[in-house]
Amino acid sequence: MQTTNLIIKKALCVVALATIPALLHAQGFGAGYGPPLQVIPPSQEFASSDAHYAWLLEQANGGTQHTVESIPRWYGLWTTAGNTHMDIFIDGGMTGTVREGVLTPAYEAAYKERWRQQQEEGQVRYDRLTHCEPTGLPRWLLEPYSHEFVNMPQESYLINDFANSIRRVYIGQQHQNLYGTHSWYGDTIGFWDGNKLITHTKYLLPADFTRWSPMTSNQFEQVETWELKQYGNGIERLEVQATFYDPNAFIKPVNAVYAFRHAVELETAGHRPQHWECELSSNSYMDENGKTNFHLPGEEGYKDARGSTLFPELPGQSRDPIYNTTLSTDTSK
Partner 1 sequence: MKNVFVRTLITLATTLMLVSSVEAHHSFSMFERVVQKVVTGTVARWAFNNPHSWLYINVKNPDGTETLWSFEGAAPPQLVGRGVTGNTFKPGETLTVMYCPLIDGRAGGALGWIKKTDNTYVTPSDGGCRSDPDTIKRWEGWIEQGFRSNEEAPPVAGV
CB nearer partner 1, residue 135 or residue 222: 135
What per-residue string of b and e applies to 240-253 under the rule 16 or more CB within 10 Å gives b? bbbbbbbeebbeeb
176 CA to centre of own chain: 24
Contacts (CB under 8 A) with partner 1, residues 77-116? 80
User: By CB under 8 A, is residue 76 in contact with partner 1?
Assistant: no
CB of 99 to partner 1, least distance (A): 21
Contacts (CB under 8 A) with partner 1, residues 255-284? 263, 265-266, 269, 271, 273-274, 276, 278, 281-282, 284
Residues 6+ apart with CB under 8 A from 28: 37, 80, 82, 83, 84, 85, 86, 142, 258
φ, ψ for residue 317, nearest 5 deg: -105, 10
- Binds partner 1 by CB under 8 A, chosen from 127, 155, 227, 236: 127
CB nearer partner 1, residue 108 or residue 143: 143
CA angle 170, 250, 102 (to 5 degrees): 135
User: By CB under 8 A, is residue 123 in contact with partner 1?
Assistant: yes
User: By CB under 8 A, is residue 146 in contact with partner 1?
Assistant: yes
What is the amino acid identity at position 85?
H
Max distance between CA atoms of the chain, in angstroms, equals 74
CB nearer partner 1, residue 43 or residue 268: 268
- Strands (E) located in the chain: 78-83, 90-91, 97-98, 147-151, 155-160, 165-171, 187-193, 196-202, 221-230, 236-245, 254-262, 284-286, 292-294
CB nearer partner 1, residue 30 or residue 72: 30
User: By CB under 8 A, is residue 208 in contact with partner 1?
Assistant: no
Q: Which stretch binds partner 1 (CB under 8 A): 21-29, 171-179, 180-188, 309-317?
A: 21-29
- Binds partner 1 by CB under 8 A, chosen from 52, 196, 211, 237: 211
Count of positions on this chain that bind partner 1 (CB under 8 A)? 72
User: By CB under 8 A, is residue 143 in contact with partner 1?
Assistant: yes
